[in-house]
Amino acid sequence: MIQFLRSGFTTKEGELDDARVSAFLLVLTFICNTCYQTYNGHAFDMQNFGIGAGALTAGLGAWFGIRKDN
C-alpha cells in the first residue's frame, strides 16, 4: 500500500515530484478550508466551491501540461 502511494508522488526515476506533491497539498487545503468554513456556521455555497474547484483543476492541468514529462 505504501509503495502504491509513493508511486503517485514520484517520477519514473523514483525522485520526489514537487509538482505532484504541491498539487496534492493544494487540493487537500482547498477541501479542508471548505469543511472548516462550513463547520464554523458559514453557508456552503456550491457555486463558489465549483468556481474554486474549476480554477484549481485548470491551473493544475496547465502546470502538468506545460511540463510534458508526466
Please write the tens of the pLDDT for every residue from 1-55: 788 888 888 888 888 888 888 888 888 988 898 888 889 888 888 888 889 888 9
Q: Tell which wins on pLDDT, 6 or 70.
A: 6
- Residue 31 inside a domain? The answer is yes
Name the band, by pLDDT with cuts 50, 70 and 90, for residue 69. Answer: low
- Residue 48 inside a domain? The answer is no
Supply 33's cell numbers: 478550508
Instruction: Give bridge partners of residue 16 from the DSSP assignment.
Output: 10
pLDDT of residue 26: 84
- Residue 32 inside a domain? The answer is yes
User: Does residue 70 surpass a pLDDT of 80?
Assistant: no
- Gap between the Cα atoms of 10 and 17, Å rounded: 5
- 40: number of Cβ within 10 Å: 7
- Residue 11 inside a domain? The answer is no
Domains: count for the chain: 1
| 32 alpha carbon, distance to own chain's centre | 11
Residue 34: give the domain boundaries.
Answer: 17-39+55-65
User: Does residue 68 surpass a pLDDT of 80?
Assistant: no
